[in-house]
Amino acid sequence: MEKMKALGCFLLLSLLFSPFVSTFALTDAQASFIARRQLQSLPENGDLPEDFEHKVEVKHTFENNRLKRAYIALQAWKKAIYSDPQNFTGNWDGPDVCTYNGVFCAPALDDPSMTVVAGIDLNHGDIAGYLPLELGLLSDIALLHINSNRFCGIVPKSFNKLSLMHELDISNNRFVGPFPKSVLSIPDLKYLDIRFNEFEGELPSELFDKKLDALFLNNNRFSSSIPETLGNSTASIILFANNKFSGCIPSSIGKMSDLQEVIFLNNDLSGCLPPELGFLGNVSVMDISGNGFIGILPKSFSELKSLEILDIRNNQLTGLRAIFPITSLLR
Ligand X SMILES: *[C@@H]1O[C@H](CO)[C@@H](O)[C@H](O)[C@H]1NC(C)=O
Taking the least distance from each CB to ligand X, the nearer of 209 and 268 is 209
254 binds ligand X (CB under 6 A): no
Closest CA to 245 of 259, 231, 227: 227
Contact 279, 303 (CB under 8 A): yes
102 binds ligand X (CB under 6 A): no
Cα torsion 32, 195, 162, 209 to 10°: value is -130
CA 175, 241, 248 angle in degrees (round to 5)? 115
Least Å from the CB of residue 101 to ligand X:
8
Contact 218, 263 (CB under 8 A): yes
Q: Is 198 helix (H, G, I), strand (E, B) or coil?
A: strand
Strand (E) positions, 233-323?
Answer: 237-239, 244-247, 261-263, 268-271, 285-287, 292-296, 309-311, 316-318
Site string for ligand X, 62-91 (x = CB under 6 A): -------------------------x--xx
225 binds ligand X (CB under 6 A): no
Site string for ligand X, 189-208 (x = CB under 6 A): --------------------
Taking the least distance from each CB to ligand X, the nearer of 102 and 136 is 102
Q: Determine the Cα–Cα distance for residues 50 and 58; give it in Å rounded to an integer.
A: 17
209 binds ligand X (CB under 6 A): yes
Taking the least distance from each CB to ligand X, the nearer of 170 and 283 is 283
Least Å from the CB of residue 316 to ligand X:
27
Stretches 16-24, 27-35, 105-113, 227-235: which one binds ligand X (CB under 6 A)? 227-235
Least Å from the CB of residue 232 to ligand X:
4
Least Å from the CB of residue 291 to ligand X:
22
CA distances from 222 to 122, 202, 204 (A): 26, 6, 11
Out of 14, 22, 257, 318, the residue judged to bind ligand X by CB under 6 A: 257
Q: Determine the Cα–Cα distance for residues 316 and 203; give it in Å rounded to an integer.
A: 26
Out of 218, 252, 289, 315, the residue judged to bind ligand X by CB under 6 A: 252
Least Å from the CB of residue 202 to ligand X:
16
* Interface contacts to ligand X, rule CB under 6 A: 87, 90-91, 209, 228-229, 231-232, 252, 257-258, 281-282
